[in-house]
Amino acid sequence: MSATTALAVVQAAQKRGALIFANMENMEAKVELYRTEVTEIHLKDADFHVINKKKVPNKAATDRIGEACGIQFIQAACRVTTEQRDDPTCGKRTVYCAEAQGKVRMPDGSWRTSTVDDYEFDPVLRAMLDKNVTELTPQTRPTVARLILEYTKVARQRAATGARLRVIKQLTGMTGAFDEEESKKPFVFTRVVQNTDYILKTPEGRVMATAQALGCDVSSLLYGDKKALPENTTGDTYVHAETVDASAADAAEDDVDFPAGENDAPAKTQEQIDFEELSYSLDQYMSAYKDTLNIKTPSGVNPFELAMNELNNPNATIESRKSMIDRVRTFLIGKRVPGVV
């Protein structure tokens, strides 16, 4: 989408009453390598938490907004820790403290990095505020006890979402809470992305795109092997690798393979690739839902420990990985964990 088209789309959405979170004066990409993309998001009541009578985007909505803005979160700076606190008002409790940092591409192609933002989620204090309880006592505790348990179950996720939302606010200027009327309007965001059409118009760009798609080394495709090819016993003429340009490469026969090297790593089989993908999926479940999995069930087993044993089992197979992932997913669905399908 050209900058002119992107601006027209944003202006049209603005006339329809949409909430615009874009720099109207600095929307145009400064170099042809990038282009401006517009995304319109429609959120429902289920996409918000209600805090102090205001609607705050939940995890799913925050992730969608972050993607629409083109924000990349820096994994090394994103974490959730816990603190033990004790005071006369709320008593002894665990508070979840999250930090997050992200970056967004600017119209000139450079990156703007946010500062590290933090967010605290206190399940006890949040429940007391929601129930209008000013002090936690033996008399008032039954009023908020169930809500405290519900908030504690998702406290780590709520803290992480709050920190990520603050990073989005910092990089885009978006407000973090909306009233009832605002939450029903479309949300419009812009992001700067690579201009694939422009890249593919150049020979080098086509080679690089092909290398990325095939998982090849870009330098080997662009510059070739500096050594001469073997002598041809059939009398045909070989061309040195450094003289082959992109147009000649385009005309090469599809069945010509790249010469093998002594230090080449053996190619992975499809079975190995499938096994690694399943291992990654299982590890993601364990990381995202550790608090839910790391408990003792009525039968006396610990789902997290079982999953960890499977992940560390040197004799594990594709079937055992699939089986464990299905068991973990079934357990999480049974616990009604949001976002697990």
For residue 327, with 0-12 CB atoms within 10 Å meaning exposed, 13-18 middle and 19 or more buried, which class applies?
Answer: middle
Placement of tokens 């998001």 in the chain: 41
Q: For residue 321, what are the domain limits? A: 274-334
Fill in the DSSP letter of residue 178: B
Domains of the chain: total: 3
Of 153, 174, 194, which residue is a domain's last?
Answer: 194
On whether both 247 and 286 belong to a single domain, the answer is: no
305 falls within a domain = yes
pLDDT tens, 4-37? 588 888 989 999 999 999 877 777 777 788 888 9
| Mean residue pLDDT across the chain | 83
258 falls within a domain = no
To the nearest whole percent, how much of the chain has pLDDT over 90? 49
- Are 295 and 302 in contact by the 8 Å Cβ rule? The answer is yes
pLDDT tens, 156-184? 999 999 999 999 999 998 988 999 999 99
pLDDT tens, 254-312? 556 666 666 666 667 888 888 888 888 888 788 778 888 999 888 889 999 999 899 88
Fill in the DSSP letter of residue 200: T
On whether both 215 and 186 belong to a single domain, the answer is: no
27 falls within a domain = yes
261 falls within a domain = no
122 falls within a domain = yes
From residue 272, give the alpha-carbon distance in Å to each of 26, 137, 267, 269, 323.
47, 57, 10, 5, 17
Average pLDDT over residues 232-257: 47
Interatomic CA distance for residues 181 and 231, integer angstroms: 76
Cβ within 8 Å of residue 5, ≥6 positions away: none
Which pTM value belongs to this model? 0.61
On whether both 330 and 221 belong to a single domain, the answer is: no
